[in-house]
């Protein structure tokens, strides 16, 4: 999860997700699951499907690359 600049909140949480092989899940299904498990303010404002997440040589997710992807063009 990374933050996207937001006029109202200051920053809105965006969740990037990669479904497991052989499964399908929509952003709406994820949001509904989060609503059943989390308080409203903890639910990401947006879910983005990815085939893979950018990682460094040790396997850590490169959040800066994801933030760059969210910047307005």
- What band does 56 get if pLDDT is binned at 50, 70 and 90? very high
For range 1-24, the mean pLDDT: 90
Specify the fold of 2-70. Answer: GMP Synthetase; Chain A, domain 3 (3.30.300)
Listed by start position, the domains of the chain span 2-70
What is the structure's pLDDT at 13? 92
Using the predicted structure, report yes or no on whether residue 64 has a pLDDT greater than 80. yes
- Give the torsion through C-alpha atoms of 20, 53, 41, 6, to 10 deg: -150
What is the structure's pLDDT at 73? 66
CA-CA distances (angstroms) from residue 27 to 10, 36, 51, 57? 23, 14, 14, 29
Looking at every residue in the chain, the average pLDDT score rounds to: 92
């Amino acid at each position: 999860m990374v933050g996207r600049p937001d006029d109202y909140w200051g920053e809105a949480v965006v969740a990037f997700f990669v479904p497991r092989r052989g499964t399908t899940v929509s952003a709406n299904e994820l949001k509904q699951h989060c609503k059943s498990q989390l308080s409203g303010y903890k639910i990401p404002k947006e879910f983005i499907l990815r085939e893979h997440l950018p990682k460094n040589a040790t396997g850590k997710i490169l959040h800066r690359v994801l933030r760059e992807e969210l910047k307005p063009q």
